[in-house]
């Protein structure tokens, strides 16, 4: 994380933590050195830009791409070849990579679409090692980022966060958002032996909201 304080709980639990700004090439280089010989890589860092689509600036665009897409590409490039054979990479994309109805998140959606192409390319490039590379496209997940989306977009649409949340939930056939632990379970599956014949895939995790 870019915020060392947010890593404190993991450090207390015995995990090795690294404060790192993934938008900074030098920081990515440092992280790749630390991760040398890893079995798994999960590219889950992300930022979201929420603006009316006609107000998105070049800086907004570059910020979303730097953390979401650029970091994913170069961490796959730098860490993938140094992973132990038989390992796996999971990249976190989003349902917005396929369903762009939330136009206020257009820059974010574009960066998440790029991740799908990155995933396919590295699935081919790392297959000889063999390292598997897959992506997840989560839909509505109950996280602080989801709360931020509702709070920021609701005023743009002249509604309330509660009303927007209700409308979004109605668009999900299963009638609810996902819990972070559910997404973590899918990540764990893709890293494990049960997914040993899967690579280059983009798995929808949207409660039926996206089916292609």
Picking from 85, 158, 69, the residue whose alpha carbon sits closest to that of residue 117 is 69
- Residue of 108, 124, 197, 205 marked active site: 108
Picking from 110, 126, 131, 5, the residue whose alpha carbon sits closest to that of residue 68 is 110
DSSP codes, 118-132:
HHHHHHHHHTTTT-E
Count other Cβ atoms within 10 Å, centred on residue 81.
12
Give the integer Cα–Cα distance in Å for 206 and 193: 24
Helix %, strand %, coil % of the chain (to 5): 55, 10, 35
Count other Cβ atoms within 10 Å, centred on residue 23.
18
Angle at 91 between CA 188 and CA 167, to 5 degrees: 90
Residue showing tokens 């060392």 = 4
What contacts 118, CB < 8 A, 6 or more positions away? 69, 72, 73, 76, 91
Is 108 labeled as catalytic in the residue annotation? yes
User: Which active-site residues does the annotation give?
Assistant: 108
């Amino acid at each position: 994380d870019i915020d060392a304080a947010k890593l404190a709980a993991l450090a207390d639990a015995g995990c090795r933590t690294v404060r790192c700004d993934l938008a900074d090439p030098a920081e990515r280089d440092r992280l790749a050195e630390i991760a040398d010989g890893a079995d798994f890589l999960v590219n889950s860092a992300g930022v979201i830009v929420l603006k009316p689509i006609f107000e998105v600036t070049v800086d907004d665009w570059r910020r979303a791409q730097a953390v979401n897409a650029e970091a994913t590409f170069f961490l796959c490039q730098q860490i993938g070849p140094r992973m132990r054979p038989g390992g796996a990479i999971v990249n976190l994309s989003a349902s917005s990579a396929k369903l762009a109805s939330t136009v206020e998140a257009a820059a974010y959606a574009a960066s998440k679409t790029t991740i799908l192409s990155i995933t396919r390319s590295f699935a081919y490039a790392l297959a000889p090692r063999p390292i598997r590379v897959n992506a997840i496209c989560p839909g509505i997940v109950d996280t602080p980022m989801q709360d931020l989306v509702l709070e920021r977009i609701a005023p743009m649409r002249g509604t309330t966060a509660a009303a927007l949340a209700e409308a979004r939930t109605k668009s999900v056939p299963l009638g609810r958002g996902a819990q972070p632990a559910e997404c973590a379970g899918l990540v764990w599956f893709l890293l494990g032996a049960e997914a040993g014949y899967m690579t280059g895939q983009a798995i929808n995790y949207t409660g039926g909201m996206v089916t292609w």
